[in-house]
Amino acid sequence: MNPIRMTALAVGLVLGLLILVFATRDTSRDRMTTHLVGAVAPAVVGVTLDGSEWDLDDQRGRWVVVNFFSTTCVPCIREHPELVAFAAAHAEADDVRLVTVAFDDSPSAVAAFFARNGGDWPVLTVDTGRVAVDWGVIGVPESYLVTPSGHVAAKVIGGVEMDELDGLLTRAMAAIS
Amino acid sequence: MNATLGTAFVAIGLSASVAGLLSVAWGLATRSPVFVVRARGWVALLAVAAVGQVAVMERALITRDFTVAFVAEHGSHRTPALFNVATLWSALEGSILLWVLILVGYVVLVVRRFRHRLDDPVVGWTLLVLFVVCTFFFLLLAGPAFPFTRFEPWAGYDGPGPNPLLQNHVLMAFHPPVLYLGYVGFTVPFALAVASLVTGRLGEGWLLEARRWTLMAWGCLTVGILLGAWWSYEVLGWGGYWAWDPVENASFLPWLTGTAYLHSVMVQERLGMLRVWNLSLLCATFSLTILGTFITRSGVLESVHAFTESGIGPMLLGFFGLVVVTTVGLIAWRGDSMRTVGSIDSPVSRTAAFLVNNLLFGAFAFVVLLGTVFPLLVEAANGDRISVGNPYFERMTMPIGFALLFLMAVAPALPWGGTTGATMAGRLRWPAVAGAASMVLALGLGSRGWAPTLAVGLAGFSIGGAVRQLGMTVRSRGLRGLVGRSSGGMIVHIGVAVVAVAFACSSAFIRQAEFRFDQPGERAVFAGHELVFEGLTTVELSEKTEIRVSVRVDGRTYLPAISTFPFGSQTIGTPATRSTLRDDLQLAVLAVPDERSNTTIVRVTVQPLVAWLWVGGAVMALGTAFAAVPTTGGRRRRGADETVEGSPEGVTV
């Protein structure tokens, strides 16, 4: 075989392997999802919009979706109807609860947002920065699924869809039982 | 309405690219040039679509039409007008719009340039490749990077505005478009290279075309990279301008292979050698732009200025695969028949120097590429996560840089054939004196350490060499001799040497310290400068709140600031820089008083010669412009195929 052809094929082979490596890598987004998964969920304690205390520890024995959000983030606004639908679908069975932690937002804006767009689950607004730091939130929206034993089962960066959450929940339930 | 109009333009663009692609392919397959010529109409339609979609998006951004999701996510009423326009390229979808606009602009230029030769198969294949690339990017726009998604804002909605870092300096308005002009510009020489490989027509006329398009793209890329460095220097305030970040490397890699091509192509023009190698370099340069785009936009590597992730990664990787398979296949298939017999007469000749140049640029590109993707390779091999930092890049690239500086001094003085030691000694005497003198000068001015001193010496040597060449040209042809490719090249060399000196000295002799001030009137002394803390002022602007720290340095007041943007609670610094040709003094605010402490922390960075980076860049741009002007030899309106194939006769300067 002539040298040019051999060199070309060798270069092609190396680049092919490189492409293979690239193609099989998780993106950094996927990698970030593994950060808290499996660990005990950090504390989520705060005051809800209606002024009552809320503590994640009180929810032991239940599945909880912890959602970080802000009224000024477009993906959060887009995912909101999905969360409303998810909450409605699970309202009767009460097999999973939802809590929203409003990140760097004013309580009045958050209250107005929920009044306008629906959603009757607890929303924490005051001094939520600490919670977000403990959970390692990089940017809203982020959502976490917490098991009845208080462990993080899954993390979703970016807007969620109802089906996606249901899928995560079903898989996590199956994994535990 | 903007969303509808924009969607229509994307659809028109995609259809026009596919139609153009099919038309040209049919014309080539059936040998009916009329179908290739017809591509003109499709190109016109492409241009309408590319301009139209950008105009629509800019209109949406300027009028804050939040029914377009891109505007809702990245636009804002508070963003100042200039940054409002620049918001287009602050996020993924808009940046692809800009990319497509520039790509289509190049396609229009190609069609215009070859308007009398559209029936030539080489032009046909070139257009085919360009249509394939256009189709790919319109597919990105129609699919994962669709920019005109709708959004339903409620009354009083206001978006968050672009990333605060991107609306903090006017350079952000210029750096990305200029960089893209370079990046995207390599598509044309790539298309010409593929066309040459397919048709087997390697007449030196086509070579001249490829060289000219490459030169244009290369010049823009050079300026774009330096503008980016300048931006990060002015905005980030850490006293640096280059961090070997994957995104920076992504723009640097095609620059390296493009530079190698611009040199080795001269061997081909002169002696007809290295044809396959040159075509390979053009293909590599384009492949690297696609690979770089993949690295930047897929999220596969973590980087400080990667775009948000999207489904664009797999498509870019697939396209990179297609480019690699096509070019490697073509070179393997056609390469052998294009080889020319020839050998290098003497190891001490300009031809040999160009070969060494190519080896060095190849090694440079390999080192940078390896350092960029190494973390991924290691992770694939054993699951470890490592990062490759500056020490690797500095240690590996420094010797190559020195060797290139040396070569830059010696090579222009070498004749094409062999030479004798005495001749060379005569030619290199004055440049060597200049090099030695600049080393002595550097030591006298306080340079310590061998690396920066050697860099100054070698830079003086190569500036001496370039000035000698320019002097000889001016003596024989007058000042008009300064225009044209060889003189332009020498001017670029001077620019490179200036940049090298600035780079070496500013990184070797950087002095940095942090000062804590509690009360106005407190003083500090650093690197011969006296700093007096004068207090804080808070300024409310529409898009941000600025806390300005007033510091008096050597009798002049500077106002470095920390800005808080209301949305996203991002706090970013705005350094204050005093730039002189001798050194730069930069003040950056690290902390301002809050509930916990009453202390203001200011970082002071003093760096010599930073301004010369930008001066050197301007000289490089000037040299490139001079080199692009055709000299009398090139102006003889050569038909592209006038030179007989295989003829070693090229265009001489």
Question: Where do the H-state alpha helices sit in B200-274?
Answer: 204-236, 246-271
Residues B455 and B402 sit within 8 Å (Cβ to Cβ): yes
Mean pLDDT across the stretch B443-461?
Answer: 92
What's the rounded mean pLDDT across residues A32-47?
78
In this structure, are A130 and A159 located in the same domain? yes
Distance from CA of B173 to the nearest CA of A (A): 24
Contact B206, B640 (CB under 8 A): yes
* Cβ neighbours of residue B101 closer than 8 Å, sequence gap 6 or more: B50, B51, B53, B54
Give B505 to chain A, closest Cα distance, Å: 36
Q: Which residues does chain A have within 8 Å of residue B314's beta carbon, measured at their own beta carbons? A: 23
Q: How far is B431 from chain A (nearest CA, A)?
A: 39
Residues A102, A126 share a domain: yes
On whether the pTM is more than 0.95, the answer is no
Q: Residue B470 pLDDT > 80, yes or no?
A: yes
| Phi, psi of B505, deg, nearest 5 | -75, -40
Q: Quick one: pLDDT at residue B363? A: 96
pLDDT, average across residues A113-133: 85
Same domain flag for A23 and A47: no
- Residue A124, CA atoms < 13 Å, CB-side half-sphere: 23
For range B490-502, the mean pLDDT: 96
Q: Phi/psi of residue B504, each to 5°?
A: -65, -50
* Residues B123-177 pLDDT 10s: 999 999 999 999 999 999 999 999 999 988 877 788 877 877 777 788 888 999 9
Residue in the block written with tokens 């092609």: A12
Looking at residue B299, what is its pLDDT?
67
Structure tokens at B600: 């203001």
Two tokens at B139? 């597919």
Question: Any chain A CB within 8 A of the CB of B311?
Answer: no
Higher per-residue confidence, A55 vs B596: A55
- Lowest mean pLDDT, pick from B70-84, B190-204, B280-294, B562-576: B562-576
Contact A19 B159 (CB under 8 A): no
Q: What letter does residue B72 receive in the DSSP assignment?
A: H
The reported pLDDT for the residue numbered B502 is 95
Return the pLDDT at B647: 35
Q: What is the reported pLDDT for B642?
A: 36
DSSP A161: -
Mean pLDDT of chain B: 87
Does residue B638 have a pLDDT over 50?
Answer: no
Distance (Å, whole) CA B507 – CA B520: 32
Q: Do B336 and A11 touch (CB under 8 A)?
A: no
User: Who among B69, B299, B332 is closest to A5 (CB)?
Assistant: B332
Same domain, A77 and A40: yes
Measured between beta carbons, the chain B residues lying within 8 angstroms of A19 are 317, 320-321, 324
Indicate whether A119 and A131 sit together in one domain. Answer: yes
Q: Is the pLDDT of residue B569 over 60?
A: no
Q: Which pLDDT score is estimated for B649? A: 35
The predicted structure's pLDDT at residue B280: 92
Same-domain status, A11 and A84: no
Q: Are residues A132 and A113 in the same domain?
A: yes
Query: Judged by CB atoms within 8 Å, which residues 148-167 of B form the interface with A?
Result: 151, 154, 158-160
pLDDT at B653 over 50: no
List residues bridging with A67 in a β-sheet: A100, A143
pLDDT in tens, B317-342: 999 999 999 999 999 888 777 776 66
Segment B192-245, tens digit of pLDDT = 999 999 998 877 578 888 999 999 999 999 999 999 999 989 888 777 889 888
**Are A169 and A100 found together in one domain?**
yes
Pairwise CB contact (< 8 Å): A12 & B329: yes
| pLDDT tens figures, B80-94 | 888 888 999 988 899
Kindly state whether residues A58 and A13 are assigned to the same domain. Answer: no
A-chain CB neighbours of B160 within 8 Å are 72-74
pLDDT at B648: 35
Closest CA to B541 of B96, B164, B247: B164
Interface check B439 vs A, CB under 8 A? no
Which of B69, B300, B332 is the closest to A74 by Cβ? B69
CATH code for position A39: 3.40.30.10
A20, A75: one domain: no
Residue B39 in tokens: 């591509």
B652 — pLDDT class (breaks 50, 70, 90): very low
CB under 8 Å, gap of 24 or more: what pairs does B337-343 form?
Answer: B337/B200, B338/B197, B338/B200, B338/B202, B338/B275, B338/B276, B339/A4, B339/B275, B339/B276, B340/B272, B340/B273, B340/B275, B340/B646, B340/B648, B342/B271, B342/B272, B342/B273, B342/B648
**A132 shares its domain with A67:** yes
Mean pLDDT across A142-168? 87
pLDDT at B397 over 70: yes
- Residue B378 is predicted with a pLDDT of 83
Q: In the structure, what pLDDT confidence band is assigned to residue B644 with cuts at 50, 70 and 90?
A: very low
Q: Tell whether the model's pLDDT for residue B645 goes beyond 80.
A: no
Provide, as residue numbers in chain B, all residues whose Cβ is less than 8 Å from the Cβ of A18: 373
| Chain A residues whose beta carbon lies within 8 Å of the beta carbon of residue B571 | none
- Model confidence at A30: pLDDT above 70: no
Nearest to B328 among A11, A21, A73 (CB): A11
pLDDT band of B75, cuts 50, 70, 90: confident
Which of B300, B333, B366, B377 best probes binding to A when mutated, by most A CB atoms within 10 angstroms?
Answer: B300
Whether B294 sits inside 8 A of A12 (CB atoms) is no
Q: Tell me the per-residue pLDDT of B361-389, one tens digit each, with 9 for 90 and over.
A: 999 999 999 998 888 888 778 777 777 88
Binding-face residues of B in 330-359 toward A, CB within 8 A? 331-333, 335-336, 339
Nearest to B336 among A5, A27, A73 (CB): A5
Interface probe for B, chosen from A1, A26, A70, A72 (most Cβ of B below 10 Å), is A72
Q: Do A9 and B314 touch (CB under 8 A)?
A: no
**Which of B275, B303, B336 is the mutation pick for testing A, counting most A CBs within 10 A?**
B336
Number of domain units in chain A? 2
Find the closest chain A residue to B303 by CA distance.
A28
Average pLDDT of span B59-77: 90
Parent domain of A65:
35-176
- Are A95 and A138 members of one domain? yes
CB A74 to CB B159 under 8 A? yes
